């Protein structure tokens, strides 16, 4: 467990969570990204237990004055294959996993191609702020590195609304980086949407490198320094 820190006279505690009931509660309430946001309770319970048993899955949480304030979730199972591994390890949940696949891959096609509903609009103000940052560009669309147990993936970081502005984002992602790098990874990478200015800003503040890709999304990474090797 990390030592307690003080921000604006408030105690901040960062820790790796290994309590499946608390993980389940957090994911049910706060996880908004696919595929986890589509998981029914049975799959969420299986995922929470999988995280607790694995030394390659990490859920770091922040507590402010003893109250849960946000999390950062990552792993070293390979960004391209983590959910295939989860499916193989929980094959008896195939019906639920199939329904999740349908919701992710088929329903958006129905919405966009058959009903003609437009995709969500990008935040133009954030796009402008990011453009003015003049970040280095990669001459390719966003892509994860090939799966390698020495490459970590930061899937999602969430700060609850009432705790934003306290600088928890940089602390959470760097705590996640430490947990992953302490287990032998030399690189942790993440994906950020093209208009997510807040995420790019706190990752840069935390010392990560950010690159804009040809699709407009951001490839962001942090490598182990020579002092850590």
The CATH code of the domain that includes 49 is 3.40.630.30
Q: Which long-range contacts (CB under 8 A, 24 or more apart) does 199-206 make?
A: 199/157, 199/169, 200/130, 200/133, 200/135, 202/167, 202/169, 202/170, 202/173, 203/169, 203/170, 203/173, 205/167, 205/169, 205/170, 206/169, 206/170, 206/171, 206/173, 206/174
End-to-end CA distance of the chain: 22
Q: Which residue has the tokens 């237990």?
A: 49
Tell me the pLDDT of the chain (229 aa) as tens digits. Answer: 454 565 667 899 999 999 999 999 999 999 999 999 999 999 999 999 999 999 999 999 999 999 999 999 999 999 999 999 999 999 999 999 999 999 888 866 555 655 455 566 789 999 999 999 999 999 999 999 999 999 999 999 999 999 999 999 999 999 999 999 999 999 999 999 999 999 999 999 999 999 999 999 999 999 997 565 4
pLDDT at 158: 97
Residues 6+ apart with CB under 8 A from 150: 76, 184, 185, 186, 187
Residue 73 and residue 66: Cα distance in Å, rounded?
A: 20
Q: Is the dihedral of CA 168, 53, 182, 209 positive or negative?
A: negative
Q: Which of 22, 26, 52 is nearest to 39 (CA)?
A: 26
Which DSSP symbol is given to 16?
E
Q: Please, are residues 61 and 70 in contact by the beta-carbon 8 Å criterion?
A: yes
Going by their DSSP bridges, the two strands 67-75 and 57-64 should be labelled as antiparallel
Overall domain count for the chain: 1
Q: Which range of residues forms the domain containing residue 101?
A: 5-228
Going by their DSSP bridges, the two strands 57-64 and 10-16 should be labelled as antiparallel
pLDDT at 116: 52
Q: Which two tokens stand for residue 142?
A: 């966003």
pLDDT at 106: 81
Q: Please, are residues 23 and 36 in contact by the beta-carbon 8 Å criterion?
A: no
Q: Which of 167, 172, 179, 171 is nearest to 157 (CA)?
A: 172
């Amino acid at each position: 467990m990390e030592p307690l820190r003080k921000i604006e006279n408030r105690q901040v505690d960062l820790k790796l969570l290994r309590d499946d009931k608390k993980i389940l509660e957090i994911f049910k309430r706060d996880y908004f990204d696919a595929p986890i946001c589509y998981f029914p309770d049975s799959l969420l319970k299986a995922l929470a237990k999988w995280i607790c048993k694995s030394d390659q899955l990490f859920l770091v949480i922040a507590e402010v004055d003893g109250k849960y304030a946000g999390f950062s979730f990552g792993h070293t199972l390979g960004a391209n294959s983590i959910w295939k591994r989860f499916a193989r390890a929980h094959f008896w949940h195939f019906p639920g996993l199939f329904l999740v696949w349908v919701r992710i891959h088929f329903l958006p096609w129905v919405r966009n191609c058959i009903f003609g509903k437009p995709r969500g609009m990008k935040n133009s103000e954030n796009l402008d702020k990011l453009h003015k940052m003049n970040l280095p560009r990669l001459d390719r669309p966003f892509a994860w590195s090939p799966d390698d147990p020495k490459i970590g993936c930061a899937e999602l970081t969430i700060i609850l609304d009432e705790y934003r502005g306290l600088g928890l984002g940089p602390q959470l992602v760097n705590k996640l980086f430490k947990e992953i790098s302490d287990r032998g990874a030399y690189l942790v990478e993440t994906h950020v949407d093209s208009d997510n200015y807040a995420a790019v800003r706190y990752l840069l503040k935390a010392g990560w490198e950010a690159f804009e890709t040809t699709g407009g999304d951001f490839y962001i990474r942090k490598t182990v320094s020579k002092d850590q090797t």
